[in-house]
């Protein structure tokens, strides 16, 4: 048995239903009850589906070209990903949740764990109040799962979405309710259990969530691993995954894309990688980080007769967040791995070993470099970021040329309703 970690007695997992689709519908009420799908970068795969699309049998992450006939037959409305809109609405949801509890752990763009112990209302009534308020304030539908551990809260949230009769809220704080639910759910519905792991569990006679929680933790640890053992402990009602109120900072930032049109020339690929480098640098500064490591990766299609993929990494002597420094490194790394005659399908830039600016004074610096310590560098980058927030790509580096982050023309990109004054929703009377 693992040592019990800090956790509230009542944890709520608030999950936005079909989040990307719900964001698109918010400003398109004419699409209520219509089949909608949101596509990935470059409009390649389906990453979010309305219930109507799910009912058609269209799976998550399926390439669009494979279901084109179904899309046309049932007049499925396709939307290109609008990440600016989704991020803004997500921030509004997370901010609103703090009205109900100061302890909110943001898990993903559409999910957050909440501590409900501070309220005197019954947890289930509290869940309905949260659901109603988010719908009224933001306009997005959410489901709420309540339980004594995170893993159980995940199961409860799944049940709240799966069975409409629950009203979007399921509380399994009691052992009787937990047992009834776990006996109904396949083991694949348990948080962290994928297809391959589920198949291995099936070989040991574990088919439902209840079968899994019925096993001894020590036996599970021997047969599987420590992570699965923690999951079993959580299913048994004992917290093994700590509730973290503060959002953890990322130790690695990645920007990569697949290209619709293959790239063979080095200058063009360099421009694309420069765009990726600048985007990761912006994210780095947004979380007040300094990167000590830069990695560039490139690859051709694996279906080619002689596929090629390679990557190169450089470790900085002084951690940096300066786009100028990172761009020079990116260019140098590409020089070492670029192969003439290849048609490149995908490339990416990764910033790693990220340290916080506040703790950067404890890091060993480069005696011959003043990039990190120089206040002018930080001030310049901050000014560029502020300008680009107000005016999209208002300040550009020459290294990017005419390249933009989006390499293809979206099929149907919705407006930036909440982040651009020129694209605010208009009401006609």
Query: How do residues 287-302 score in pLDDT, each as one tens digit?
Result: 889 999 999 999 999 8
Under a CB-based contact definition with an 8 Å cutoff, are residues 243 and 8 in contact?
yes
Provide the pLDDT confidence category of residue 367 given band limits of 50, 70 and 90: very low
CATH of segment(s) 100-235 = 1.10.150.20
Find the mean pLDDT for residues 58-65: 90
CB atoms within 10 A of CB 419: 16
DSSP of 150-215, one letter per residue? Answer: HHHHHHHHHHHHH-GGGTTEEE--SHHHHHHHHHHSBGGGSTT--HHHHHHHHTTT--BHHHHHTS
Angle, to 10 degrees, between the axis of helix 323-337 and the axis of helix 266-286? 140
pLDDT of residue 375: 65
49 secondary structure, DSSP code: E
pLDDT of residue 179: 95
Sign of dihedral through CA atoms 70, 76, 80, 81?
negative
Pairing of strands 36-39, 46-49: antiparallel
Domain ranges of the chain: 19-85, 100-235, 253-400
- Read off the pTM: 0.76
Give the Cα separation of 254 and 279 in Å (integer): 9
Provide the pLDDT confidence category of residue 373 given band limits of 50, 70 and 90: very low
CB atoms within 10 A of CB 359: 9
Give the Cα separation of 104 and 115 in Å (integer): 7
Sign of dihedral through CA atoms 270, 273, 274, 277?
negative
Give the Cα separation of 310 and 328 in Å (integer): 19
Under a CB-based contact definition with an 8 Å cutoff, are residues 193 and 185 in contact?
no
CB atoms within 10 A of CB 195: 8
pLDDT of residue 191: 94
Can you read off the two tokens belonging to residue 8? 């509230």
Give the Cα separation of 205 and 202 in Å (integer): 5
Rama region for 136: left / alpha / beta (φ>0; ψ in -120 to 50; rest): alpha
pLDDT of residue 387: 83
For residue 361, is pLDDT > 70? no
CATH of segment(s) 253-400 = 3.30.1490.100
Per-residue pLDDT reduced to its tens digit, 214-270: 999 999 999 999 999 999 999 999 999 888 766 666 789 999 888 878 999 999 999
CATH of segment(s) 19-85 = 3.40.1170.60
For residue 362, is pLDDT > 50? no
Find the mean pLDDT for residues 126-135: 95
Flag the least confident range among 90-99, 235-244, 349-358, 380-389.
380-389
What share of the chain has pLDDT > 70, as a percent?
90
């Amino acid at each position: 048995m693992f040592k019990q970690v800090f956790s509230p007695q009542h944890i709520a997992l608030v999950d936005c239903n079909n989040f990307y689709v719900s964001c698109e519908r918010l400003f398109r009420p004419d699409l209520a009850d219509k089949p909608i799908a949101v596509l990935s970068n470059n409009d390649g795969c389906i990453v979010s589906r309305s219930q109507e699309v799910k009912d058609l049998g269209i799976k998550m992450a399926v390439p669009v070209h494979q279901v084109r006939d179904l899309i046309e037959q049932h007049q499925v409305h396709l939307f290109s990903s609008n990440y600016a809109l989704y991020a803004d609405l997500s921030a509004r949801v997370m901010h609103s949740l703090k009205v109900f509890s100061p302890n909110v752990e943001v898990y993903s763009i559409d999910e957050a764990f909440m501590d409900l112990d501070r309220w005197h209302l019954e947890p289930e009534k509290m869940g309905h109040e949260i659901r109603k308020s988010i719908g009224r304030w933001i306009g997005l539908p959410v489901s709420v799962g309540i339980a004594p551990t995170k893993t159980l809260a995940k199961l409860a949230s799944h049940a709240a979405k799966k069975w409409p009769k629950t009203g979007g809220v399921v509380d399994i704080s009691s052992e009787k309710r937990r047992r009834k639910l776990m006996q109904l759910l396949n083991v694949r519905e348990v948080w962290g259990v994928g297809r391959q792991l589920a198949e291995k569990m099936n070989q040991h006679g574990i088919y439902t969530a209840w079968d899994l929680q019925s096993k001894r933790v020590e036996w599970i640890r021997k047969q599987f691993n420590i992570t699965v053992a923690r999951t079993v402990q959580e299913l048994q009602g004992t917290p093994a995954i700590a509730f973290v109120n503060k959002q953890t900072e990322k130790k690695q930032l990645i920007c990569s894309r697949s290209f619709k049109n293959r790239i063979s020339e080095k200058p063009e690929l360099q421009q694309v990688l420069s765009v990726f480098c600048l985007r990761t640098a912006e994210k780095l500064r947004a979380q007040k980080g300094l990167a000590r490591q830069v990695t560039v990766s490139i690859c051709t299609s694996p279906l080619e007769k002689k596929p090629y993929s390679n990557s190169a990494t450089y470790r900085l002597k002084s951690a940096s967040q300066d786009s100028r420094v990172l761009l020079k490194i990116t260019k140098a790394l590409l020089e070492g791995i670029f192969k003439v005659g290849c048609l490149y399908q995908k490339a990416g830039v990764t910033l790693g070993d990220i340290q916080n600016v506040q703790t950067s004074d404890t890091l060993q610096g480069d005696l011959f470099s003043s990039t990190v310590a120089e206040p002018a560098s930080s001030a310049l980058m901050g000014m560029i970021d502020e300008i680009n927030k107000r005016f999209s790509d208002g300040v550009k580096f020459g290294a990017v040329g005419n390249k933009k982050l989006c390499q293809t023309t979206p099929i149907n990109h919705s407006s930036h309703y909440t982040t651009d004054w020129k694209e605010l929703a208009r009401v006609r009377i």
